[in-house]
């Protein structure tokens, strides 16, 4: 049985009623399964629909059509069972300012009917580097510490499926490392992990399989290794103060002084270098590196067709 099964999920946000507003199809017929024990990444640029999909999975929003099951339980019809199997770490820092860290975890355990959960709470506090803060009031914690507590809260009922929605956005290196060590250990013990992140190096290091969303559609669903091996093999990386002529700028990714040009082999690299010399572009710190997930992501995002909101498309989906 799949840990998470997403079947033909569409979501239309209705028009706000303000002049000029129109319905928005945030998810367009999204389907994929995540198997038990996978470490799965859900990627996509801002507005791609990741949070919308996770809200539907968490039972916080309804799909316009389609269904999601967690360990076979429908997130709408069998909400309680589905929720027991899920631990969701939300993007926003929501917490009760009146509790200490331990009290918050004990309270959350009670919500799942777990009244003797002390040993597991201790393990969570230790694994997330929170033991020293167990008696601290939630109000007194830094943003990074609060985020650790949110992770612990999501895990108090030892859910077999852990969902992390951009857990490392704006957090420091130490917390990222603590968090990934802990989550990777849970994954080794058999927990399924679904991660959304904008940090592609994190996704590349952790996720064995990925789905990429663009404007509500799945444009890639592959093992991470397959995506990487299908990508352009190399990237020519250099710095320059010279403007690139149009024909080269079209082939390049420019960030300030840094220029990156995809090249599928040594001949293409030589061609790029010759074209730069001919155009009088003075390149410094020239490097050739292997393509990474960011290159794959940019390649896919610039090439894939986009989902539009058409009258016919909207008519197909029944509103709940
Ligand atoms: N409650 C809402 N009402 C109307 N439109 C919404 C609502 N929530 C999200 N949207 C729109 O739906 C689309 C998908 O948004 P969503 O937040 O799911 O994307 P995302 O991939 O999570 O983006 P990000 O990476 O920025 O968090 C966006 O165009 C967004 O503006």
Domain match, 239 and 273 both: yes
Is residue 177 domain-shared with residue 283, that is, in the same domain?
Answer: no
Boundaries of domain holding 248: 232-290
What is the pLDDT of the chain when averaged over all its residues?
Answer: 87
- Does residue 307 have a pLDDT over 50? no
To test the pocket of ligand 1, the residue of 25, 26, 41 to mutate (highest count of ligand atoms within 8 Å of its CB) is 26
Residues 76 and 199 in one domain: yes
Tell whether 80 and 168 lie within a shared domain: yes
CA of 308 to the centre of ligand 1 (A): 15
ipTM of the complex: 0.97
Q: Do 262 and 291 touch, CB atoms closer than 8 A?
A: yes
The whole-number average pLDDT for the span 155-159 is: 94
Residue of the CA atom closest to atom 31 of ligand 1: 47
174 belongs to a structural domain: yes
Contact by Cβ (8 Å): 101, 133: yes
The confidence score (pLDDT) of residue 313 equals 38
pLDDT band at residue 303 using 50, 70 and 90 as cut-offs: low
* Geometric angle at alpha carbon 156, from 98 and 50, rounded to 5°: 95
Q: How far is CA 208 from the centre of its chain?
A: 13
What's the confidence (pLDDT) of residue 306?
45
Query: Are 269 and 178 part of one and the same domain?
Result: no
Query: Is 255 a member of any domain?
Result: yes
Distance 286 CA to ligand 1 centre (A): 39
- Ligand 1 atom nearest the C-alpha of 48 is 21
Ligand 1: centre distance to CA 122 (Å)? 36
Are residues 19 and 57 located together in one domain of the fold? yes
For residue 38, the domain's CATH number is 3.40.50.300
pLDDT at 311: 35
Q: Which tokens in the block code for residue 239? A: 């710095």
What's the pTM value of the predicted model, to 2 decimals?
A: 0.82
Statement: residue 308 has pLDDT above 50: no
Q: Decide if 279 is inside a domain.
A: yes
CATH number at residue 241: 3.30.70
Distance in angstroms (rounded) separating the CA atoms of residues 229 and 225: 6
State the average pLDDT over residues 304-308: 44
Q: What are phi and psi of 31, to 5 degrees?
A: -140, 130
Mean pLDDT within 42-47: 90
Instruction: Name the residue with tokens 């770490």.
Output: 89
Among 199, 228, 257, the domain-final residue is: 228
Same domain assignment for residues 41 and 78: yes
pLDDT surpasses 70 at 310: no
Tokens of 36: 């038990």
Reduced to 3 states (helix: H, G, I; strand: E, B; else coil), residue 110 is helix
Distance 202 CA to ligand 1 centre (A): 22
Q: Do 172 and 257 lie in a common domain?
A: no
Q: Please choose from 12, 14, 44, 51 the residue to mutate so as to test ligand 1's pocket, defined by most ligand atoms within 8 A of CB.
A: 51
Q: Is the CB of residue 66 below 6 angstroms from any atom belonging to ligand 1?
A: no
Same domain, 50 and 173: yes
Confidence grade of residue 258 (pLDDT, cut at 50, 70, 90) = very high
Q: Are residues 59 and 11 in the same domain?
A: yes
The response to whether residue 24 sits with its C-beta less than 6 Å from ligand 1 reads: yes
Q: Is residue 107 part of a domain?
A: no
Q: How many domains does the chain have?
A: 2
- Dist. CA 49 → ligand 1 center (Å): 6
Which residues in 16-142 belong to E strands, given as ranges? 24-35, 39-43, 65-70, 73-74, 86-89
Asked, for residue 77, whether it belongs to a domain, the answer is: yes
């Amino acid at each position: 049985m799949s840990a998470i099964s997403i079947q033909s999920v569409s979501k239309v946000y209705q028009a706000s009623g303000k002049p000029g507003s129109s319905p928005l199809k945030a998810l367009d017929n999204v389907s994929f399964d995540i198997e038990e024990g996978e470490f799965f990444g859900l990627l996509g640029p801002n507005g791609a629909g990741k949070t919308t999909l996770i809200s539907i999975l968490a039972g916080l929003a309804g799909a316009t059509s389609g269904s999601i099951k967690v360990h076979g339980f429908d997130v709408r019809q069998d909400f309680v069972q589905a929720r027991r199997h899920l631990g969701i770490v939300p993007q926003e820092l929501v917490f009760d300012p009146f509790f200490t860290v331990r009290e918050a975890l004990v309270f959350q355990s009670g919500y799942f009917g777990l009244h003797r959960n002390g040993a597991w709470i201790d393990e969570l506090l230790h694994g997330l580097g929170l033991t020293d803060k167990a008696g601290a009031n939630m109000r007194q914690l830094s943003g990074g510490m609060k985020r650790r507590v949110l992770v612990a809260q999501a895990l108090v009922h030892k859910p077999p499926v852990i969902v992390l929605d951009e857990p490392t956005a704006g957090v420091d290196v130490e917390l990222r490392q603590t968090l990934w060590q802990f989550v990777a250990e849970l994954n080794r013990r058999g927990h399924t992990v679904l991660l959304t992140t904008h940090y592609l190096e994190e996704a590349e290091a952790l996720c064995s399989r990925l789905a990429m969303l663009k404007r509500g559609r799945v444009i890639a669903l592959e093992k991470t290794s397959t995506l990487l091996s299908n990508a352009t093999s190399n990237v020519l990386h250099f710095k320059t103060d010279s403007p690139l002529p149009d024909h080269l700028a079209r082939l390049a990714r420019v960030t300030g002084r840094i220029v990156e040009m995809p090249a599928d082999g040594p001949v293409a690299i030589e061609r790029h270098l010759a074209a730069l010399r001919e155009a009088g572009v003075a390149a410094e710190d020239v490097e050739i590196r292997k393509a990474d997930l960011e290159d794959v992501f940019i390649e896919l995002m610039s090439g894939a067709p986009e989902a539009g909101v058409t009258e016919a498309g909207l008519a197909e989906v029944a509103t709940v």
